[in-house]
Structure 1
């Protein structure tokens, strides 16, 4: 593999607690039943614009937009303290970059938030491109993000792999005809990864160096 496409939350960064707490606080603030931790984690990998309406199917658009705003405020209050990279991720990224591989992030998070954390840990220079949910019209599992970087950087799909902790990441990769890799170290539901029959299933970031 020459081109490594990563999901961010749950794959590179451990941010599940931040997302869960922010979601629950936003729902409570808007007088809606707070979803369980399990419900939130199962939807991680999708943007909030996709999964909040699933958690609150009767909420009017005005309430949903307030939910989105409140969620982002609560996330911002705790994201630095609550977001860290999984063990082994940063050394692996640095080695892949040193080996001449192109690294990308394709995430349901915003590009500004992702760059904020990359700069916090001084690894932003490792990535060729970051595509956040604010940069596409169609969210995972739609292949738009993958197709965008394939087109922009003239990538060979057979030498490209989409790596993620959620089934939506693998579905997106398959929909774009690139290789797929399930990352179990941050996955909420490993069985759902296996059901997607990814090209690879790995349990430690360092295994990427063998691709």
Structure 2
């Protein structure tokens, strides 16, 4: 394995509480009493546009803007790092593994999280919502990352906490890995048959040696 593509939210940085609270803020204002934090778990993974096209088809831009404003304001106070992420990424980089991020977030928001983690230097680039026409599970963002890296598909793995990540990897013809710390749970992800299931981020150190 020569290259690893990572989802960001819920995979490298624990943004689950931030996302849930942001959705609750904007939905409670628009639909008082109709949504619970548990309902909001279902909105983790798809792009904001996809979610609000289903919830408020006539107010998509307005709702996305409200979401982003509250999310940006409360970002740093509500996110936390998953155990062992930065040390593991540093070891992978030392071993010559090439790494990039493939997310459905905007690039500036990804960068905000990377700066908070002190991990920006570990990735060659990050692909966000604003870089593609089609987001995961469409293969476009993964294929774009492969093109930018200049590597063969058989040397690449897509890693994430949602089925969009696993399916995007499969659709692009690369290996895929789910993360057991996904808010949706390991059992949920296993339905999509990832090639690997990481119990801890450090599992990647073994996988790259054996593959």
Report the TM-score when normalising by structure 1.
0.93
Equivalence for 1:103: 99
Equivalence for 1:200: 196
Equivalence for 1:176: 172
Give the Å deviation of 1:133: 1.0
1:66 and 1:95, CA in 2 relative to 1: closer, same or farther beyond 3 A?
Answer: same
Equivalenced residue count is: 207
Tell me, in whole angstroms, the C-alpha distance in 1 between the residues paired with 2:121 and 2:35: 37
Q: Say yes or no: does 1:4 pair with 2:4.
A: yes
Q: Say yes or no: does 1:136 pair with 2:132.
A: yes
| 8 Å contact kept, 1:103–1:127 | yes
Over aligned residues, Cα RMSD in angstroms?
Answer: 1.4
Equivalence for 1:187: 183
Unaligned runs of 5+ in 1: none
| 8 Å contact kept, 1:171–1:196 | yes
Tell me, in whole angstroms, the C-alpha distance in 1 between the residues paired with 2:63 and 2:34: 12
| 8 Å contact kept, 2:16–2:183 | no
- The secondary structure found in structure 2 opposite 1:205 is coil
Give the Å deviation of 1:116: 1.3
Equivalence for 1:39: 39
Tell me, in whole angstroms, the C-alpha distance in 1 between the residues paired with 2:109 and 2:129: 11
Tell me, in whole angstroms, the C-alpha distance in 1 between the residues paired with 2:74 and 2:46: 20
Give the Å deviation of 1:120: 2.4
Q: Which runs of 4+ in 1 moved over 6 A?
A: none
1:17 and 1:30, CA in 2 relative to 1: closer, same or farther beyond 3 A?
Answer: same
Tell me, in whole angstroms, the C-alpha distance in 2 between the residues paired with 1:142 and 1:42: 19
Tell me, in whole angstroms, the C-alpha distance in 1 between the residues paired with 2:57 and 2:139: 29
Tell me, in whole angstroms, the C-alpha distance in 1 between the residues paired with 2:34 and 2:98: 40
| 8 Å contact kept, 2:100–2:123 | yes
- The secondary structure found in structure 2 opposite 1:93 is helix
